[in-house]
Amino acid sequence: MTVSGITYEPSGRDSYLCTLLTPAGAKLTITVKAGDPKPELNGDDVLTRNHALVENVRAFGESEYSFRRMRAGDKRESYRKRADEHAQIAMGIGIMVDSLGDELRVDWCSACFKRTIHRRVERWEHPPRAYLCESCGAPTSPCVAPRCSNMANRGVGRVRLPRYCAEHRHEIPGFDKADMRFSQIDEYADFLAFERKDLSKATRVAGAMAGTAAIVAPAAMVAAPAIGGALGASALGVI
C-alpha cells in the first residue's frame, strides 16, 4: 500500500528527486538535475498549480541536499531543521488540497498581495477557518480585525494567536497600492502612508515573550516567485 508523505531520492552526485503524495493519492514530483537551472515538475494539476506547495517541496529538496553534503556542525543541523519544516508545510498544504470544498470568497491575499479567489478547506481540524489562495496557493484565513474583509496568512497548523492581514500587520501600506506606478519621486510619500492601524503589535509582543518565532515570514518575500521559501518554517502555525 502506498503511504502518503514526502520523500527525497538522490540520483548521482548532484541530482535528486522529491516526491509528495497526499492521503487522497494526488502526486507531485520535482526532479533536479545537475547543470539544469530549472527543476522538472510533474504530477497532478491540483498540486502542480499550487505555487506555495511546489516551492516548499523544492525548498525541502534543496535543504535535504545541503544537509546530506554537510559533514557536521550547526550549519548541518540548520539544514536538517529547514528540510523538516518545509516538508511539514508542503504536506500540510497537500492535505488542505485534498479537502478543498466549493465555498469561495474573493478578497485580498496577504501572501501574494492580489485580490483573488480563496477556496474553503473543509474538514480542517485546526481552527480558525482555512482557505487556499487560488493565485499563489498559500493557506489563508479571514483577518480578525473588525470589519476587515482581507485574508491573512494562516499557516498549516494550529493557530494560537490572532491572524491579521498584511495591511493590519503593516507589511504593506495598502493592498490597492501594490500596483502603483510613480511619475515623480515625491509620490513615494503617499505610497508609504499606511492605510490601516497596526493591530498586530500586541500579537508580536506576546509571541516574543513566549520565546516563539514570528507568526509568518515577511509578506513581501511571499509575493516573490519563490513563494514556498517565503511562507517559511514560521508559517507552520505553531503560535
What pLDDT, on the 0 to 100 scale, is given for residue 229?
Answer: 37
Check whether 180 has a pLDDT greater than 90: no
What pLDDT, on the 0 to 100 scale, is given for residue 194?
Answer: 62
Give the pLDDT confidence of 183-239 residue by residue, as tens digits.
Answer: 555 554 554 566 666 666 655 544 433 333 333 333 333 434 333 333 444 444 433
What pLDDT, on the 0 to 100 scale, is given for residue 236?
Answer: 46
> What sign has the CA pseudo-torsion 163, 164, 170, 175?
positive
pTM of the model: 0.78
Question: What is the band of 159 on the pLDDT scale with cuts at 50, 70, 90?
Answer: confident
Are residues 48 and 153 both part of a single domain? no
Check whether 132 has a pLDDT greater than 90: yes
Check whether 178 has a pLDDT greater than 50: yes
SS3 call for 29: strand
Mean pLDDT of 130-139: 96
Are residues 73 and 117 both part of a single domain? no
Nearest partner of 233 among 121, 89, 128, judged by Cα: 89
Are residues 126 and 210 both part of a single domain? yes
| Residue 230 DSSP label | H
Are residues 21 and 118 both part of a single domain? no
Give the pLDDT confidence of 60-96 residue by residue, as tens digits.
Answer: 999 999 999 888 888 999 999 999 999 999 999 999 9
CA distance 115 to 109: 6
How far does the chain reach from its first CA to its final CA, in angstroms? Answer: 35
Q: Which of 98, 114, 130 is the endpoint of a domain?
A: 98
Which of 104-113, 132-141, 189-198, 225-234 has the lowest average pLDDT?
225-234
Are residues 48 and 108 both part of a single domain? no
Are residues 224 and 108 both part of a single domain? yes
Are residues 126 and 206 both part of a single domain? yes
Q: Which of 78, 98, 118 is the endpoint of a domain?
A: 98
Domain region containing 69: 5-98
SS3 call for 61: helix
Are residues 120 and 204 both part of a single domain? yes
Helix, strand and coil percent figures for the chain, each rounded to 5: 35, 20, 45
Q: Which of 43, 77, 98 is the endpoint of a domain?
A: 98
With a pLDDT cut of 70, the percent of the chain lying above it is: 73
Contact 139, 156 (CB under 8 A): yes
- How many domains in the chain? 2
Are residues 79 and 141 both part of a single domain? no
Selected residue with higher pLDDT from 9 and 212: 9
Are residues 221 and 154 both part of a single domain? yes
Are residues 129 and 71 both part of a single domain? no
Contact 80, 72 (CB under 8 A): no
Give the pLDDT confidence of 32-66 residue by residue, as tens digits.
Answer: 998 788 899 999 999 999 999 999 999 999 999 99
SS3 call for 104: strand
Output b/e per residue, 156-195; b: 16+ Cβ within 10 A: bbebebbbbbbbbbebbbebebeeeeeeeeeeeeeeeeee
* Three cell numbers, residue 156: 498549516
Are residues 132 and 231 both part of a single domain? yes
Average pLDDT, the chain: 80
